[in-house]
């Protein structure tokens, strides 16, 4: 398998292409959903869920959950929740911004920018769950560490590392204001 960042670059490119096909008014709705789920996960779930899971595990097995098992559980759980939210934001009737895309190159450019942001948020957040929980995927031999020098540098700029959790809520509020403005 190649360097880890190539997988996430591929995911990034796929979402850029989706944005170019769907146009930015539709993609901004997905961006809003991404902000919501990032707020919920980073502000509530990551700080609170490990303790709750450990308490339940301790009651059942009379011992704390082993660290690596907890890392596997949390990385998988948060990734699945995030993927389900993203899938839901693209499926069926979507949360789209009103209006039509700008004609010509401007519309394409705006769609490209929004697609790049969504690709960064989606690929970067999925990578973050692996990085934050010390790459549990390596235990399944689906990834080999260490990361390349580029991968190490990129990992420092994953969305939940660079944006404080409360800021996601502020971004949601701003997006909703843009959505309802007349």
pLDDT tens digits along 107-144:
999 999 999 999 999 999 999 999 999 999 989 887 77
CA gap 53, 60 in Å, rounded: 11
Quick one: DSSP state of residue 45?
I
Backbone angles phi, psi at 132, to 5 degrees: -65, -35
d(CA 125, CA 54): 24
pLDDT at 143: 78
What whole-number percentage of the chain has pLDDT above 70?
A: 98
Report DSSP state, residue 2.
-
pLDDT above 90 coverage of the chain, percent? 74
Question: 3-class secondary structure for 94-151?
Answer: CCCCCCCCCCHHHHHHHHHHHHHHHHHHHHHHHHHHHHHCCCHHHHHCCCCCCCCHHH
Q: Do 179 and 27 touch, CB atoms closer than 8 A?
A: no
> What mean pLDDT comes out for the span 71-92?
94
d(CA 93, CA 78): 24
Residue 60 has pLDDT above 80, yes or no: yes
**CA–CA distances in Å: residue 88 to residues 35, 46, 172, 175:** 14, 22, 17, 18
Q: How far apart are alpha carbons 157 and 142 in whole angstroms? A: 23
CB 6 within 8 A of CB 68: no
């Amino acid at each position: 398998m190649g360097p880890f960042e190539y997988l996430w670059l591929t995911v990034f490119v796929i979402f850029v292409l989706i944005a170019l096909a769907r146009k930015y008014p539709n993609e901004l709705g997905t961006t809003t959903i991404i902000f919501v789920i990032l707020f919920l996960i980073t502000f509530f779930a990551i700080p609170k869920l490990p303790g709750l899971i450990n308490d339940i595990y301790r009651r059942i097995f009379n011992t704390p959950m082993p660290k690596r098992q907890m890392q596997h559980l949390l990385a998988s759980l948060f990734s699945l929740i995030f993927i389900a939210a993203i899938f839901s934001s693209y499926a069926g009737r979507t949360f789209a911004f009103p209006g039509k895309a700008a004609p010509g190159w401007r519309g394409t450019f705006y769609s490209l920018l929004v697609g790049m942001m969504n690709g960064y948020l989606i690929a970067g957040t999925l990578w973050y769950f692996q990085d934050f929980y010390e790459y549990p995927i390596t235990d399944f031999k689906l990834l080999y560490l260490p990361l390349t020098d580029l991968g190490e540098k990129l990992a420092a700029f994953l969305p939940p590392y660079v944006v404080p959790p409360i800021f996601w809520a502020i971004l949601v509020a701003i997006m909703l204001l843009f959505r309802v403005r007349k």
